[in-house]
Amino acid sequence: MDKKDLPATKGDLAELETRLEKKFASRDDRTSVKGDIARLDAKIDAVDARLDAKIDSSTKRLAVEISRTNGRIDELGQSLTRTIHQQSDRILTALDRYSKVVEADNRGVTLHGSILTNVQLKLQDHSRRIQALESGRPQP
């Protein structure tokens, strides 16, 4: 049987403990761990600074793009307002023309009605005169 296959003895454990104590005593692990922590802290600070820079850059780009978009929205609003005013002016002009035509037609209808009334009165008078002539009576 090989020594690796046998269970560890107290002597084996004592020997391992001694070797480990020598190894860690010579290296001063506490200082090493503190150094590792300091290096990790420095790396974290560097990553934090890079992220802050990227966030600031992204924020500035977004602010610029938002400003441009707001400008375009304002321009579109002004253009839409101008277009609405132009269209409303055209509509009002057309309505004015139409109302003038309607007024003229109304005057024509009124005049036409008056003329028809006069013609009807003259026709009645003419009819009365014809009847008087046919009956042989003198006209009043």
Per-residue model confidence (pLDDT) at position 26:
57
In Å, how far are 64, 69, 80, 83, 88 from 76, measured between CA atoms? 18, 10, 6, 10, 18
List the pLDDT tens digit at each of the 140 positions of the chain. 566 777 878 888 888 888 887 776 655 556 677 788 889 999 999 999 999 999 999 999 999 999 999 999 999 999 999 999 999 999 999 999 999 999 988 888 888 888 888 888 888 888 888 888 888 765 55
Interhelix angle for 10-27 vs 29-135, to 10°? 70
Per-residue model confidence (pLDDT) at position 107:
85
Q: Domain spans of the chain?
A: 11-106
Which pTM value belongs to this model? 0.42
* Contact by Cβ (8 Å): 114, 107: no
Give the integer Cα–Cα distance in Å for 78 and 36. Answer: 63
Cα distance between the two ends of the chain: 167
